[in-house]
Chain A
Amino acid sequence: MNRTTAPVEEALPDERLAIAVQRGLISPETAQAIASIEVDGDGAPGGSRLTPLVAEAVGFVGAALALVAAVLLVSQFWADLRPWARVALPLVAAIALLAAGAWLRAREVGAVARLASFLWLLSVASFAFAVSLVGEDILDLHSERTALLAGGVSTVYAGALWFVRRRALQQIAVFVALLVTMASGLDLVDPQLTDYAGLLLWAVGIAWLLLAWGEVVQPRTTAFALGGIAAVIGPLMTTFAMRQGGLALGLVTAISLVVVSVTLRRTVLLWLGVVAMFIYIPQIVFEFFGETLGAPLALFITGVVLVGVALGVARLHTSIPPGPGTAEGER
C-alpha cells in the first residue's frame, strides 16, 4: 500500500477518515496510519478483524460454561463441606483467577487483555464470596455485618487490582464493591435507613462523575457512564421512600446531565440524561398533574414534552463539538 501517493479519499476504507481529513481535523498521513491499522487489524499483517473477535467470543462462552459447570459440581456437595472448606474453594478460585490474569497481563493487547481484565473481575467476585462465607459461617456475623465486611474488604482488593490495571472492568468492580459497602453500612446503622439507599447511590454517582471530570479515575468514559447510571437510578430508588422528592431529584439530575454533557463534550452523559428524562418526565406529569388534568391530557402533555426533549437532544447531539470525549472513542 502506497501511503504517500494515493489520494486519501480513495485509499481509506472508512469514509469518516476522509471527512476528517477534508475538515482538517487530521493530516492525510495520520489518516493513512489509522487506515493501515484498520486494514491489518491491530497491526497484525494479513490478519482478519473477525477472527480474533469470534475467538474471543467463543473463549468467553467457554469460560462461562466452565464456570457454571464448576458451580453446579460444587453445589452437589456444598452442604456437606466444613465451613473452612467452603471458604477455601472460592478463595483458591480467586487466587487462581488472579494468577491467570497476572500471567496474561504481560500481553496487554486486544482480546487477551480483555480476558485478563475479565479474570480479575471474577477474582474479585470470588474473593467477595469467600469473605462473606468467613463472616457468615466462621465469624457467625449478622447478615448486615457480613455484607459490610465482604463489601469493605472487596473494595480494597478491587481497588488494588484497579491500581495495577486501569481497565473498565476493574473500575466497575471497585464501584460495585463500594456501593455494597456503603449500603450495608446504612443497614448496620439502622435497617430503615436502607429506604434512602437510592439517595446514597445518587451521591456516589455524582461523586464518581466529579472524579471522572477531575481525571482522578480512569478510564474516564467508564467512570462517566458508571457515575451517570448511578445518578439516574438512585432517585428512582428513592421514590419508594419519598415519591415527589425522588422524582424531582431525578428530573434535576437528568437536566444536569444533558447540560454537563455539552460542557464536557461527553455523549454518554447526554444519552443518560435523555434516558433519565424518559424515566422521570412521565412520572412527574402524572404525579403532579394526573388528578387535575386527567389521564388522557397528562398523557398528551407527556408525549409533547418528550417529543420536545427528543428534538432538543437531536440539536444538542449535533452541536457537541469533538473534544476529549471523542478522543477516547466515545462518539
Chain B
Amino acid sequence: MSATETPVRTDEPEEAADRRTVIAITGAVAIVLVVALGIIVFGYVPLPDYPRLDDDPDPAIPGMIVYVEASNEQSCLVTISAGGGAATEMACERDGGYFDQNLAWTADGLVVTMQYGRQGREIVAYDPQTGREVERIVVDEPPSNRPPRIVEPNLTRPEERMTRADGARLEIAHRPEGETAVRLRDAEGQRRDLLAAEGPRNYEFVSAQWSPDGEWVLVADSRGRLIVVDAGGETPRLLVERNGRDWWTTSAAWFIPGEETYTVDLADYRD
C-alpha cells in the first residue's frame, strides 16, 4: 500500500463529486443499518419457553437436585428442591479447581463428587444441608477390572439414569430440521416424544435422566438450563436458568429420600 497516495480527481465537476460523496455516505450507512437490523430481526430465534418453577413451585415434585454450576472464575455445587425454589450454593472451587462431571448421591443423602486433588482422583462427600465436607477418599484411577461406580450422568455412563427400573429408556434425538427431542422408548420398543423443541442454531437437549421414583424426567439443554417434565411429557417446567453467557450447568443428580435407585455407596471406594 502506498503511503504517499493522494486522491486523484479527474476533470469531474465539483458538483458531481459532491453528489458522489453524498451517495457514498448515504449508501454506506444504509447498507450497514439495513443488514444489522435484518440480522437482529430475522437472526434472533428465541429459546423454548416453559413455565418457571421458581415463580410457581410445585410441591408434588419430590426430592432434591444437585448440579454443578460453572463460570470462568469458579465451579460450584448447587442444590435446589426439585419442585422449585431458591437454589443454595453448597461448595465452590476457585482458582482453577472445578467439580468433575461425576455427580451422585448416597442413599443417606450425601452429595458425592469426583475431584482432582494432589494425590490424584478423589471421591468427596458433602453434607448438602451445611456444605461441609464429610469425607474424602483418594481413589487415584478406578480399578480397571470394574466400571466406575460413580454415575456419570452426562458423559461416559448416561445409560444408567436414562433407564428406568421397568426398562423404559430415555433417548435424545436431533432432527435434521433443527428440532431436538427427548424420546421415551418403552420396554416393548414403542417410541414417543416426551419433550420436543426448536431453538436457535446449535440449541439441543444434551442429557435426560429419570427421577429415582421414575415419575419425572430431568432434562438439561445446551444453554445450561434444567427442565423438569413429568413422565407423561405434559408439563415441562424450567427449574434452573442462569445467564448462559457467564454461567453454565454441567451435570446434575436427583435424590429422593428413601429411594436408593441411582445412588452410590462410599464403602466401595474406601479400600
Q: A residues near B, CB below 8 A?
A: 113-114, 117, 142-144, 167-168, 182, 186, 189-193, 195-196, 199-200, 202-204, 206-208, 210-211, 213-216, 218-222, 225, 241, 324, 327-329
Are A214 and B24 in contact (CB-based, < 8 A)?
yes
Contact B24 A213, beta carbon cutoff 8 Å: yes
A203 and B36 in contact (CB under 8 A), knowing A114-B3, A167-B3, A241-B201?
yes
The interface centre, meaning the residue of A195, A200, A207, A208 with most chain B CB atoms within 10 A of its CB, is A207
Whether A199 contacts B39 by the Cβ 8 Å rule is yes
Interface locus among B5-13, B165-173, B179-187, B230-238: B5-13
A186 CA / B43 CA spacing, docked (Å) = 10
Q: In the complex, how many angstroms separate the beta carbon of B181 from the nearest chain A beta carbon?
A: 20
Q: Are A328 and B10 closer than 8 Å at their CB atoms?
A: no
Please measure, in the bound complex, the distance between the C-alpha atom of A324 and the C-alpha atom of B244, giving whole angstroms. Answer: 52
**Complex Cα–Cα for A327 and B39 (A):** 39
Q: Is B35 an interface residue (CB 8 A)?
A: yes
A207-B29, A220-B5 known, 13 other contacts, Cβ within 8 Å:
A113-B4, A186-B40, A195-B201, A200-B39, A203-B31, A208-B28, A210-B24, A211-B28, A214-B28, A215-B7, A221-B1, A225-B1, A324-B8
Closest CB pairs A-B (n = 10): A214-B24, A207-B28, A203-B35, A219-B5, A168-B1, A192-B200, A327-B8, A196-B39, A210-B28, A214-B21
- Chain B interface size range: 35 or more
Q: Assess the B40–A193 pair: CB atoms within 8 A.
A: yes
8 Å CB contact of B35 from A202, A220, A241, A327:
A202
Interface of B toward A, CB cutoff 8 Å: 1-10, 17, 20-25, 27-29, 31-32, 34-36, 38-40, 43-45, 200-201, 244-246
Residues of chain B lying within 8 A (CB to CB) of residue A216:
21, 24-25, 28
A117 to B1, CA, bound (A): 13
* Contact B5–A210 (Cβ < 8 Å): no
User: In the complex, what's the smallest C-beta–C-beta distance from B144 to chain A, in angstroms?
Assistant: 39
Q: 17 A-B residue contacts at CB 8 Å?
A: A186-B39, A186-B40, A193-B43, A195-B43, A199-B39, A206-B31, A207-B27, A208-B28, A210-B31, A211-B24, A214-B21, A215-B9, A215-B17, A215-B20, A219-B5, A221-B1, A241-B43
Option from A196, A200, A210, A219 in Cβ contact (under 8 Å) with B2: A219
Asked whether B39 lies within 8 Å of A193 as measured between CB atoms, the reply is: yes
Query: What residues of chain B lie closer than 8 Å to A202, measured between beta carbons?
Result: 35
Q: Which residue of A lies closest to B6 (CB)?
A: A328
Q: Tell me if A218 and B245 are in contact (CB < 8 A).
A: no
- Asked whether A168 lies within 8 Å of B3 as measured between CB atoms, the reply is yes
Q: Which residues of B contact A192 (CB under 8 A)?
A: 43-45, 200-201
Give the residues in chain B near A182, CB-CB below 8 Å: 32, 36
Residues of A within 8 A of B6 (CB): 328
Chain A proximity of B41: nearest CB distance (Å): 10
